[in-house]
Structure 1
Amino acid sequence: MHDFKSDLAEGRQPRPGLRVKGIKGAPGIFELTWAPDGRATWSYGGERFEGEPHIIWRRIGTHDIFKNP
């Protein structure tokens, strides 16, 4: 996840291998896929440290996490 945070901190889109996209019907919540059944949902929080993105991890697991992102 270090690469993910680095990409966001530098203002880049997360690298393609991580497959990040918004979740339809859940504004402000994003999906991160890193393996065939490795999923996480997350959102941005208010800045805590200047210049660093504040990521709030919501659910981490398999495809089942989408029942309640």
Structure 2
Amino acid sequence: FTQNNALAIYKRILNDLDKVMKKDGLVIFEIGHLQGKILKSYIHEHYKVKNLAIIKDINQKNRMIQFNWMGC
């Protein structure tokens, strides 16, 4: 996968979150260990969120991204 194709599913889900999430709802995605920075940047640029964090796994690799959804 190229980086854009690898993020396509996240972008698709993010675009639909307003339909299913309440304001301040917690969103957690499992991510590939190389996707954290680019996905974090994309979310910050396109959506209203707070408490955006990348969480590492037991091997200290980026594994999850979580945030509170505030809307589009």
Normalised by the size of structure 2, how large is the TM-score? Answer: 0.31
Normalised by the size of structure 1, how large is the TM-score? Answer: 0.32
Q: Hey, which of these two has a bigger chunk of helix by percent?
A: 2
